[in-house]
Amino acid sequence: MSAHEELNADPLTVPEAAALLRAGRVCAFPTETVYGLGADATNSDAVLSIYETKGRPRFNPLIVHCADLAMAEKVAVFSLLARKLARFWPGPLTLVLPVRPDASLSDLVTAGLETVGVRIPDHPLALELIAAVGRPLAAPSANPSGRLSPTTAEQVRRGFAGRVPVLDGGPCRAGVESTILAVDGDEVVQLRAGALAREAVADAIRRPVSIAASDAAIAAPGMLSSHYAPTAKLRLDAVAPEPGEAFLAFGPPPAGQASALNLSPSGDLHEAARNLFSALHALDATGAARIAVAPIPETGLGEAINDRLRRAAAPR
Ligand code: TXA
Ligand code: MG
């Protein structure tokens, strides 16, 4: 039996996962947003394995996951404004900050940029794992490049055909990736909409949070227009399914559509975000050639949900 088969027979424990990561191997782990494909952020060979495992076509910078603020401060330089934003940690927020010259991160993590994306995830197993490894973990979402992000351990196993060890923490609470904010002097720019609503951040820091123009100099380089894609094609803002289409509903179902898969029958955007990737995985598995998706309001977490849907629907 191979090491992976043994790992898959028994659920992986935190000390076992930490031992793999300390030895330079990759290991998937749960966060509150989606599952991450983790590796020791200070070990270039380990970080390279992330790209190989995902089949990522090019080197996008990776988010560095820390166990606490002390660890994050060894990686990035925090301004006063950055410190204010760090009050959302642990939580679904990634801050793009100047990288510390003595951070001892692999260059592959920052892709040669002078900034680094850092976050402290709000998941007890993730925090326990990072603390047990004792080093920051680089982790993109634990899916093959361009495919749907996983929100359960089972989706990770299926995505990589059982080749990746997974620390199972149950389904992810938020269900969409973290919000990415760049802090540039007095300015806060959202590079990626995510599980923390832009309005909530703006309220907390009492200043506006602008949305990065898609051609801005400080854009998240990983924001490819086609991304998070299921195998089926997507049709957005659909009022009802056409023949042969699977339907993904949102909000109170009109009579006759009660049986459709619904992101949130009550119209709750948090619930919809949590269910988004799992619903797309499930409808994709039905073999339908096209998935019609009901309109989602563009407020609060609707910004992140619509962003992921538009990318999933983009021509590829
Ligand atoms: O919720 C999440 O953020 C998940 C979990 C696992 O933490 N991770 C995640 O990672 O979504 P990934 O690799 O799929 O997305 C990372 C994004 C990419 O779009 C990348 O370009 C951007 O973060 N990014 C990372 N470092 C950056 C930097 N220094 N400057 C600008 N963008 C950066
Ligand atoms: Mg991803």
- The 10s digit of each residue's pLDDT in 36-59 is 999 999 999 999 899 999 988 777
**Given the DSSP bridges, would you call strands 137-138 and 36-40 parallel, antiparallel or unpaired?**
antiparallel
Pair 34, 122: CB distance under 8 Å: no
How many distinct helices (H) and strands (E) make up the chain? Answer: 11, 13
Q: Which residue of 180, 196, 225, 274 sits with most ligand 1 atoms within 8 Å of its CB, as the best mutation to test the pocket?
A: 180
- Roughly what angle, to the nearest 10 degrees, separates helices 302-313 and 269-285? 20
Each residue's pLDDT tens digit, 166-206: 999 999 999 999 999 999 899 999 999 999 999 999 999 99
Nearest C-alpha to atom 20 of ligand 1 is from which residue?
222
From the CA of 272, how far away is ligand 2's center (Å)?
19
Give the number of whichever ligand sits closest to the CA of residue 123: 1
Query: From the alpha carbon of 177, which atom of ligand 1 is closest?
Result: 1
How much is the average pLDDT of 150-158? 97
Q: Enter the tokens of residue 97.
A: 């900050």
Give the number of whichever ligand sits closest to the CA of residue 178: 1
User: Helices (DSSP H) in 175-298: which residue ranges?
Assistant: 198-205, 269-285
In Å, what is the CA distance from 157 to each residue of 12, 29, 277?
13, 11, 15
Burial label, 23 (beta-carbon count in 10 A; 0-12, 13-18, 19+): exposed
Nearest C-alpha to atom 7 of ligand 1 is from which residue?
36
Does position 135 have pLDDT exceeding 50, yes or no? yes
Q: Which residue of 177, 188, 223 sits with most ligand 1 atoms within 8 Å of its CB, as the best mutation to test the pocket?
A: 177
Mean pLDDT of the chain: 91
Q: Which residues lie with the beta carbon below 6 Å from any ligand 1 atom?
A: 31, 33-34, 36, 60-63, 94, 96, 110, 113, 115-117, 121, 139-141, 177-178, 180, 191-192, 220-223
pLDDT band for position 10 (cuts 50, 70, 90): confident
Q: Which residues surround ligand 2, an ion (CB under 5 A)?
A: 141
Q: Where are the beta strands (DSSP E) in 193-251?
A: 210-211, 233-235, 245-249
Each residue's pLDDT tens digit, 250-279: 999 876 666 789 999 999 999 999 999 889
Q: Which residue of 29, 53, 56, 62 sits with most ligand 1 atoms within 8 Å of its CB, as the best mutation to test the pocket?
A: 62
Nearest C-alpha to atom 13 of ligand 1 is from which residue?
140
> How many whole angstroms separate alpha carbon 143 and alpha carbon 177?
12
DSSP state of 158: H
The pLDDT value given to residue 220:
61
pLDDT band for position 1 (cuts 50, 70, 90): very low
